[in-house]
């Protein structure tokens, strides 16, 4: 990460497409005359072994004819039991993304500095900008395999008198991660700083046991059910924070923020036993195999703790377009992360990876 005063004070410029995300877009598919089912999607890194049938059944059976519980109490209780936490410390949202926006509305005052450890998922930064924050970026370096440098981020936060620090661990697009214990120590040493920690990929990462680490009040952990349960269409995520913070959060969002289907999904995910752990084991093995095969192609994927790999390929946007148009394969072009020569690919079962590798071999050689 940059440590210089210049870098600290720069309100980092953003490219116009900074809010690009992975996933399928109807306009692009229509132009290529592709249906969603024609596309093998490596761009979003959801669990390819899900969803669990119980979760799908619960979503299908949810009652759309009544308002859902406005405080999502049964779902928070179930999740609290599963996480061995008081449900009052849990807020559910319309995806982790919704919670990041709500937090920005709650935490950020116009003109204040917010430190963002980049490259990272872009939504908290976008929301903080809309709330009037002055963004101060610290960027992980390719030469250091995009390792998250917490001491550098804290130094920037102190120097810029920021009250909020956002970081993604595991990070996206690189998959670097910080031990949760380091965050606990940092939060104790910086009581005036609120740490918004995006752990959306934690459950599918080698650091999954960090989910058990008790976090102090200054740390808000944001998690997604989209990834490990493969339900991006449902839109459901949660955060863990002090109970007072959770109560205050509701003042910054509309009533009924979590649909009946999302609440039913949460309750059902708590009954899926070893499903996430088994998926993680398979996916981390898929990732190891994919990394080895990418190296055989002459690529050099960045070491990752989680279920996706970042690799430098040259012109990423062009490669993405060719893979989609010619092979029906979607990868994440990382230009929006300021990495126009990198793509990110999610781990998938062997047969899917063989298709990706064959397409990549063809396109990289042409
Ligand atoms: C790091 C990170 N956080 C949050 C999200 C959004 O998750 P959700 O689908 O729960 O809004 C994503 C989605 O790609 C992500 O990569």
* Tens digit of each residue's pLDDT (9 = 90 or more) over 213-231: 999 999 999 999 999 999 9
Establish whether residue 353 lines the binding site of ligand 1, counting it when its CB lies within 6 angstroms of any ligand atom.
no
Q: Tell how far the Cα of 362 is from the centroid of ligand 1, in angstroms.
A: 31
Measured in Å, residue 224 CA sits from the centre of ligand 1 at 6
Please work out whether the CB of residue 237 comes within 6 Å of at least one atom of ligand 1.
Answer: yes
Whole-number Å distance between alpha carbons of 352 and 240 = 35
Which pair of structure tokens corresponds to residue 10?
Answer: 């720069």
Does ligand 1 come within 6 angstroms of the Cβ of 336?
A: no
Are 239 and 54 contacting, i.e. CB atoms less than 8 angstroms apart? Answer: no
pLDDT class of 15 with cuts at 50, 70, 90: low
Best probe residue, ligand 1, of 22, 45, 95 (max atoms within 8 Å of C-beta): 95
Is 328 touching ligand 1 by the criterion CB < 6 Å?
no
Give the model confidence (pLDDT) of 243-270 as tens digits: 999 999 988 999 999 999 999 999 999 9
Give the angle 333-336-341 at the CA atoms, nearest 5°: 50
Quick check: 140 and 118 in contact, CB under 8 A? Answer: yes
C-alpha 235 – ligand 1 centre gap (Å) = 10
* 45 CA closest ligand 1 atom index: 14
Q: Which of 10-19, 106-115, 153-162, 280-289 has the lowest mean pLDDT?
A: 10-19
User: Given ligand 1 and candidates 45, 47, 97, which is best to mutate, with the most ligand atoms within 8 Å of its CB?
Assistant: 97
Let me know: does 99 contact 238? Beta carbons within 8 Å.
Answer: yes
């Amino acid at each position: 990460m940059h440590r210089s005063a210049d870098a600290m004070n720069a309100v980092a410029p953003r490219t116009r497409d900074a809010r690009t995300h992975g996933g399928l877009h109807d306009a692009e598919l229509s132009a290529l005359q592709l249906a969603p089912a024609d596309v093998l999607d490596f761009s979003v890194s959801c669990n390819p072994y899900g969803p669990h049938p119980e979760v799908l059944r619960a979503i299908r059976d949810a009652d759309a004819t009544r308002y859902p519980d406005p405080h999502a109490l049964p779902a928070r209780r179930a999740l609290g039991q599963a996480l061995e936490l008081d449900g009052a410390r849990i807020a559910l949202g319309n995806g982790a993304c919704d919670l990041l926006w709500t937090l920005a509305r709650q935490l950020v005052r116009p003109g204040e500095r917010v430190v963002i450890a980049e490259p990272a998922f872009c939504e908290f930064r976008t929301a903080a900008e809309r709330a009037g924050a002055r963004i101060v970026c610290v960027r992980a370096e390719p030469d250091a395999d995009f390792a998250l440098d917490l001491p550098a981020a804290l130094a920037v936060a102190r120097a810029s008198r920021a009250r909020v620090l956002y970081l993604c661990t595991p990070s996206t697009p690189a998959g670097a991660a910080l031990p949760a214990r380091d965050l606990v120590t940092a939060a104790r040493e910086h009581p005036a700083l609120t740490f918004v920690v995006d752990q959306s990929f934690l459950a599918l990462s080698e650091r999954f046991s960090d989910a058990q680490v008790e976090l102090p009040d200054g740390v808000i952990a944001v998690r997604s059910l989209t990834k490990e349960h493969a339900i991006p269409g449902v839109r459901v995520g949660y955060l863990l924070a002090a109970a007072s913070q959770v109560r205050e959060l509701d003042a910054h969002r509309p009533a009924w923020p979590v649909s009946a289907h999302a609440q039913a999904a949460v309750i059902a995910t708590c009954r899926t036993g070893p499903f996430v752990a088994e998926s993680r084991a398979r996916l981390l093995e898929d990732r190891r195999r994919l990394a080895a095969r990418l190296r055989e192609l002459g690529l050099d994927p960045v070491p990752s703790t989680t279920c996706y790999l970042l690799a430098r390929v040259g012109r990423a946007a062009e490669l993405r377009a060719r893979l989609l148009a010619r092979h029906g394969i979607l990868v994440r072009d990382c230009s929006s992360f300021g990495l126009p020569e990198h793509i990110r690919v999610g781990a998938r079962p062997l047969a899917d990876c063989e298709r990706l590798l064959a397409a990549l071999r063809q396109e990289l050689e042409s």
